[in-house]
Amino acid sequence: MARNKKIPKFSSYEDAGEWLDTHSTADLETTSVHFELSPNFRVQIIDSLNDIEMSIPVDLGLCKQIFHIARKQGVSIELLINRWIQEKVSESIGIASV
């Protein structure tokens, strides 16, 4: 594969999976990223196939509590939050939790 190739746009996760199964990502073009650490915790919802991007600020005190609960349960914060959101969505639409 030639150096500095860009990843193509995909119309589905299946198309992306098939492409990744047959191509190396080692030669893909990279982009420099700058970020700063902040006391503000944000839940980011990103789905690049559907152009959905949302950032929801979470109170620092609540973030610390979530961190401790996740650590106590031996799971990542991401997994814990996803579980909680799934439970609430399921309750709201009347579906039993998975």
Total-model pTM: 0.45
Statement to judge: residues 4 and 47 lie in one domain: no
Statement to judge: residues 71 and 98 lie in one domain: yes
Looking at the structure of the chain, the number of domains it has is 2
pLDDT at position 32 over 60 = yes
Statement to judge: residues 74 and 95 lie in one domain: yes
What does the pLDDT average to over 49-67?
A: 78
Q: Give the pLDDT score at 59.
A: 81
- State the Cα angle at 89 between 83 and 95, rounded to 5°: 100
Supply the range of the domain harboring residue 52. Answer: 38-98
Please give the biggest Cα pair distance in the chain: 51
User: Binning pLDDT at 50, 70 and 90, where does residue 38 land?
Assistant: low
Statement to judge: residues 86 and 71 lie in one domain: yes
